[in-house]
């Protein structure tokens, strides 16, 4: 099993550009989530999903969109990138919900110039 796979690993954007961070898991997990990690801030929840077709906002959702059309995939979209979105992004999944142990992807380092 590959676990949780994130692509790309690194990305540089210009302000105003759009892009999608990809996340896929092969563990048949119902729960998937996106976090951003900034120095001194820990991890902050952006969006999460409890199953295909169901998404909800986390702590810092502004500027990000998500959808969950399949159990396996949970892409994160930046519609118009801003320098404040420079961060490391982690996708995580668990078998049922946020009260189960999370499995993390390897992260995407995003820089917005």
Residue ranges in contact with other proteins by CB under 8 A: 31, 33, 35, 40-45, 48, 50, 56, 58-59, 90, 92, 97-99, 101-107
Nearer to other proteins (CB atom), residue 17 or residue 109: 109
Written as one string, the DSSP assignment of the chain is ---EEEE-SEEEE-TT--EEEEEEESS--SEEEEEEEETTTEEEEEEEEEETTEEEE-SS-TTEEE--SSSSB--EEESS--GGG-EEEEEEEESSSTTS--EE---EEEEE-
Q: Which two tokens stand for residue 103?
A: 């499995």
Nearest distance from residue 30's CB to other proteins, in Å? 10
Nearer to other proteins (CB atom), residue 33 or residue 85: 33
Nearest distance from residue 18's CB to other proteins, in Å? 25
Nearer to other proteins (CB atom), residue 74 or residue 90: 90
Nearest distance from residue 85's CB to other proteins, in Å? 19
Nearest distance from residue 90's CB to other proteins, in Å? 7
């Amino acid at each position: 099993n590959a676990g949780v796979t994130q692509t790309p690993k690194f990305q540089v954007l210009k302000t105003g550009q759009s892009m999608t961070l990809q996340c896929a898991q092969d563990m048949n997990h119902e729960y998937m989530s996106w976090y951003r990690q900034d120095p001194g801030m820990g991890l902050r929840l952006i969006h999460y999903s409890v199953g295909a077709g169901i998404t909800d906002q986390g702590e810092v959702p502004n500027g990000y969109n998500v959808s969950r059309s399949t159990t396996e995939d949970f892409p994160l979209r930046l519609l118009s990138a801003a320098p404040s979105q420079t961060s490391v992004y982690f996708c995580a999944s668990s078998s049922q919900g946020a009260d189960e142990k999370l499995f993390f992807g390897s992260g995407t380092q995003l820089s917005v110039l």
